[in-house]
Structure 1
Amino acid sequence: MKQVFLICAHKDIEQLNALVEALRDPDFIVYVHLDRKSALDPAALHPSAIRVAPRIDVRWGGFSQVQATLVSLRQILREQPDFDKVIFLSAQDYPLLPNELLKRELMRLQAHELLETAPIRPDGWNVGFRYQFFHREGGGKLERLACGLANRMLRLTGQRRRMPDGFAPHGGASWWALSRDCLLEALRLADSHPRLLRFMRTVQCPDEMLFQTLVMHSRFAERVLSDNFRYVQWPEQGARNPKVLDAADFERIRASNAHFCRKLDSQASAGLLPRLRQWKESRAAA
């Protein structure tokens, strides 16, 4: 069964192309969304990758991240009539399994949606502030002032925003692997609930909420395995970004059950990448 990989990239064409090359396989289809504001040259992209169009100017923590994903998924679903899952990656991910083993693992998990998710509430994922108050992505001085005044009124009155249309907020990591049917259902829900998408435009880090909320509201909720099989190391609780992995992290990565690790940098991770490649080659030969 075919698998589709969607890579979102904003820098380092060599690292991006190395990831595409690592995934080059007759059973894998690779799509790449290039951040519109990045200096990446589309002409330099690996020839086996399919470019997403239109390109979105992606801003961290804003709705543009969701917009880029939605544009990419609609193109994939339009162009690829038959596949198992879309595996969503950043260009700073690295595969830990040789392709044949990765294919077997994905087939073993075929009945599941691989989506890290938890209810957003004090006894769950306690980040309610991300949607209970207004967040602006860009905008002019007056828009930022209006946003600040609205949040001040919410705090003074003790009120909090709620998700529209009866959706229960869920959240988790941006990176997932979801089946074609699940994605079709998620996009159908998004299209039939425009108030939810408008609401998400004023949420902080909606890329870590929208798909979790949609899937857990759908008939696919019972298929969810709350594990995206990524090795990620957070430097401290509440950190905005995960640690850039280096050679000192190799043994912890090897002890994990992850399919991919992140995040890597071609310079900071220069001592780690050869060890990961060697380990992956040894697993392919085993």
Structure 2
Amino acid sequence: MKIAYMILVHEYEKNVKFLINHLLEDEEAELFIHVDKTVSIEPFYVAHDRVHYIMNCARERQSPFAMNKLRLRPLTNAHYIRKKRKRVTWGGYSMIDATFVLIGAARLCNPDYYCLLSGRDFLIKDPLEWKNMLSASYPFSYIDGGKIVDRWTARGLDRVHFHFFYLFKNKKAAYYQNRIVRRVGHLIGYERKMPYGLVPYCGSQWWTISDRHMHLIFRYLYSHKKYVRFYHTVGIPDEQFFQTILYNSHLKSELINRSQTYVFWINGFVKEFTPKDAAELEDKEYVFARKIKYEDTELQEMMAQQWK
């Protein structure tokens, strides 16, 4: 059972290094790391004999469903994307672009599962235990999803009905931009429809998708190019893009409706975990949690003691 861990990174290099080293305890695992274009990649490097720095990545304007033209070095298990890194803006399609850079690279190692993580995620369970869970549940995928109208209410449909253009990395600036778009959209009475008659779904950005379902996604994108164009101007597409394809598909019965990553929301904001939360996290039926609050490894080390 081979798992491709794909990590989206823009901060917290100590946590990223700790996460990489512990995921490499699974000798079959392959890691792919995308560091945001706006920050230096060097601080995130891990000194490890199984680490490789990818020099040639996909072309800038390559279609998202095309295979990345790069080579993976044999006998290495962690690969940094060095060229054609993306500048990711909060809530924008650039997050999907960066995700497809990782997927394109990961496809070359023919994994059984693709697991998407953040640089502020940390392990709360043994990665080898997670591997055994996936082996037992293959080819089922772990992807949290529900209809937007049920999860986000009718107001949440604004994210697909109106055109959103995220230009800022700052979340607060993007929030006020959202409000302007919504007000203008409601004022003029404009509302666009979902392509191909799809029902819009939403859920956690962090998922673990089997190769069977990833192949389905690529086949769908190849024959439904309007879908990609539509989602370029959807609000927060990273929480909808993959859910909408899979939960509208004939394989939706093979989806486990939950994420592998524990996230706790407080008044619209994600809780940031500290060492004081270790006991609480030990009881969670998840493999990862986010977000880590401090740029150190105290909490991660406390959690790792469970399986050492």
1:18 maps onto 2:50 in alignment: no
SS at match of 1:279: coil
Match of 2:54 in 1: none
Structure-2 change in CA distance of 1:97 and 1:151 (3 Å): closer
TM-score relative to the length of structure 1: 0.85
Contact 2:164 2:181 in 1 (8 A): no
* Aligned mates of 1:280, 1:43 — CA distance in 2: 25
Measure, in 2, the Cα distance between the counterparts of 1:258 and 1:10: 24
1:135 offset after TM fit, Å? 0.9
* Distance (whole Å) between structure 1 residues aligned to residue 258 and residue 18 of structure 2: 25
Corresponding pairs, count: 267
TM-score with structure 2 setting the length? 0.79
Pairing 1:5–2:5 present:
yes
Task: Give, in whole Å, the separation in 2 of the partners of 1:148 and 1:276.
Answer: 40
| Mapping for residues 197-212 of structure 1, pairs under 5 Å | 197-212=228-243
* Cross-structure match for 1:101: 129
Distance 1:4 1:17, change over 3 A: same
- The alignment-based identity, stated in percent, is 25
1:76 aligns with 2:77: no
**Structure 1 residue ranges without an equivalent (≥5):** 140-146, 282-286
Q: Per-residue deviation at 1:103?
A: 1.6
Match of 2:197 in 1: 166
SS in 2 for 1:256: coil
CA separation of 1:71/1:274 partners in 2, compared to 1, >3 Å: closer, same or farther? closer
Q: Distance in 2 between matches of 1:99 and 1:71?
A: 24
Give the alignment partner of residue 86 of structure 2, picking from 29, 45, 56.
56
Report if aligned partners of 2:32, 2:105 keep a CA contact under 8 Å in 1. Answer: no
For the Cα contact (< 8 Å) 2:144–2:207, is it kept in 1?
yes
Q: Distance in 2 between matches of 1:262 and 1:148?
A: 27
Instruction: Confirm or deny: 8 A CA contact 1:246 1:270 kept in the other structure.
Output: no
| Alpha carbons of structure 1 residues 221 and 245: separation in structure 2 relative to 1, 3 Å | same
Letter paired with 1:275: M
RMSD of aligned alpha carbons: 2.3
Aligned residue type for 1:14: K
DSSP 3-state at the match of 2:209: strand
The alpha-carbon deviation at position 97 of structure 1 amounts to 2.0
Determine if contact 1:96/1:259 at 8 Å carries over to the other structure. yes
Does the aligned pair in 1 maintain the 2:126–2:287 contact within 8 Å? Answer: no
How far did 1:124 drift? Answer: 3.8
Q: CA deviation at 1:43?
A: 7.8
Structure 1 residue runs of 4 or more that deviate by more than 6 Å after TM superposition: 147-150
Distance 1:110 1:233 in 2: 27
Check if 1:227 corresponds to 2:255: no
Segments of 5+ residues of structure 2 without an aligned counterpart are 52-77, 169-177
Give the aligned partner of residue 62 of structure 2.
none
> Structure 1 residues 36-45 or 94-103, which shifts more?
36-45
Q: Which moved more, 1:31-40 or 1:63-72?
A: 31-40
